Amino acid sequence: MADLVTPMCVRVAATLGLADLADAWETADALASRTDTDASVLRVVLDQLVTVGLFESRDGRYRVTEAGRGLSTEVPPLGLDGWLGRAELAFVELAHTVRTGEAAYPVRYGQDFWADLAARPELRQGFDGWMNRRFATHAPQIARRFDWSRFSRVVDVGGGDGTLLTEILLANPGLHGHVVDLPATADAATRRFAEAGLGDRATATAGSFFDPLPAGADAYVLSDILHNWGDEGARAILAGCAEAAGPDGVVLVIEIMRSPPGPHTAFELSMAVFFGGRERTPAEVAALVPGLTLAATTKVADNRQLLEFHL
């Protein structure tokens, strides 16, 4: 359980695209030629993947198994050159996070996760794409399982390319919405709204959720945002939403809620290692900003709850 051999063989296979290249039987030499790698070492990596059932071998040739198709470049970003593979290598610095409560990512890479994404556009593109694909599953559930028709205007803070807000607006024809996110992502949201025929009801603004937010909406949504931040950052984000909402607005927090011990401990450790963030219980979220009252809790998607806060 403690060795790193198999996990790194899996990561290297994903990085090289071996699952795609070995869809049919291929020799190690042929795969090495196509990936510009050392054939003798690659053969041992393939043999290790055979040992764990991700590849199979016959007469000196290799082919990916059904289980190994999860290493495809079209599935999760497991490769070491993608944002997730890069971030998960920071787990080698887990002891730092355990000792200090701080993110391990800057220890390994010299800057925090968000600065790294800003400096490497290919990482930002991959991260945004993965988040948007994940929300494509959750967004229809969230739009159906909560009464959004109570509101006339909603601001999705850090709302990405507008995937969630689009689903909410399509399900509620009387509702108007606004996304606030970084410039390239806000541009993508504007395009999504136009393609969905929502240009007259949805807008996007380039900005940070640490900046003053558009004021006066009925509801401010934070979906999968707070767990990326330690208490200081999460408090500032939540307080900014509360300030923009004013006495008559509400703040809606959508996240996986902490309920240890449970199936999400690996995810929670990732939040700590990548960002210095953490999962929280509803009471812990409420305690971040004095004056916020938890009015209701609704399960709105698989593994996600919506917390409704009033001032």
CATH number of the domain at 49, please: 1.10.10.10
Clarify whether residues 183 and 290 are in a common domain.
yes
- Secondary structure of the chain: what % helix, strand, coil (to 5)? 50, 15, 35
Predicted model pTM: 0.85
Of 80, 156, 183, nearest in space to 123 by CA: 80
- Give the total residue count for the chain: 311
Clarify whether residues 93 and 206 are in a common domain.
no
Q: 49 in the Ramachandran plot: left (φ > 0), alpha (ψ -120 to 50) or beta?
A: alpha
Domain ranges, residue 89: 84-119
Maximum CA extent, the chain: 73
User: Per the structure block, which two tokens stand in for 94?
Assistant: 């887990």
Clarify whether residues 48 and 64 are in a common domain.
yes
Q: Does a structural domain hold residue 127? A: no
**pLDDT tens, the chain, 311 aa long:** 888 999 999 999 999 999 999 999 999 999 999 999 999 999 999 999 999 999 999 999 999 999 998 888 666 678 898 899 999 999 999 999 999 999 999 999 999 999 999 899 889 888 888 887 777 789 999 999 999 999 999 999 999 999 999 999 999 999 999 999 999 889 999 999 999 999 999 999 999 999 999 999 999 999 999 999 999 999 999 999 999 999 999 999 999 888 765 567 888 999 999 999 999 999 999 999 988 999 999 999 988 899 999 98
Annotated catalytic sites, by residue?
Answer: 227
- 131 in Cβ contact with 76 (< 8 Å): no
Q: Does a structural domain hold residue 88? A: yes
Clarify whether residues 112 and 217 are in a common domain.
no
Rounded CA gap, 244 and 123, in Å? 31
**Structural domain count of the chain:** 3
CATH number of the domain at 184, please: 3.40.50.150
Clarify whether residues 61 and 203 are in a common domain.
no
Calculated CA dihedral for residues 89, 11, 226, 237, nearest 10 degrees: 70
Fill in the DSSP letter of residue 178: E
